[in-house]
């Protein structure tokens, strides 16, 4: 018996509720087949990006802290 014959025979013996579940699963499979496949994430590349953006964030924070401190001093003086 081929896989096609097996599936057809099995489907013919399902209840209406089971057929509904099968129909939902088939819709999911068709939807998934239309979705573009994502390439795997390279952990080394992600680590490099994390380090790069982390350094950029640190620099922005250090630049912003001077303005923040000046604003606090102005509030205290005013």
Q: The domain containing residue 67 runs over which residues? A: 39-78
Match 């129909």 to its residue by tokens: 23
Do 75 and 54 fall into the same domain? yes
CB 14 within 8 A of CB 22: yes
Nearest one of 2, 8, 32, 5 to 22, comparing CA atoms: 8
**Residue 68 to residue 73: CA distance in whole angstroms:** 9
What pLDDT shows up at residue 31?
92
Do 33 and 43 fall into the same domain? no
Do 49 and 78 fall into the same domain? yes
Residues of the chain with pLDDT under 50: none
Give the pLDDT confidence of 6-17 residue by residue, as tens digits. Answer: 999 999 999 999
Q: What are φ and ψ of residue 26, in 5° steps?
A: -65, -40
Domain count, the chain: 2
DSSP track, 23-46: HHHHHHHHHHHHSPPPPPP-HHHH
Q: What is the pTM of this model?
A: 0.44
What pLDDT shows up at residue 59?
86
């Amino acid at each position: 018996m081929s896989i096609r014959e097996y599936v057809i025979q099995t489907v013919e013996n399902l209840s209406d509720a089971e057929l509904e579940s099968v129909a939902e699963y088939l819709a999911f499979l068709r939807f998934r087949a239309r979705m573009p496949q994502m390439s795997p994430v390279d952990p080394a590349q992600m680590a490099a990006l994390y380090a790069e953006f982390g350094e950029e964030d640190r620099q922005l924070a250090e630049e912003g802290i001077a303005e923040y401190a000046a604003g606090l001093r102005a509030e205290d003086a005013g």
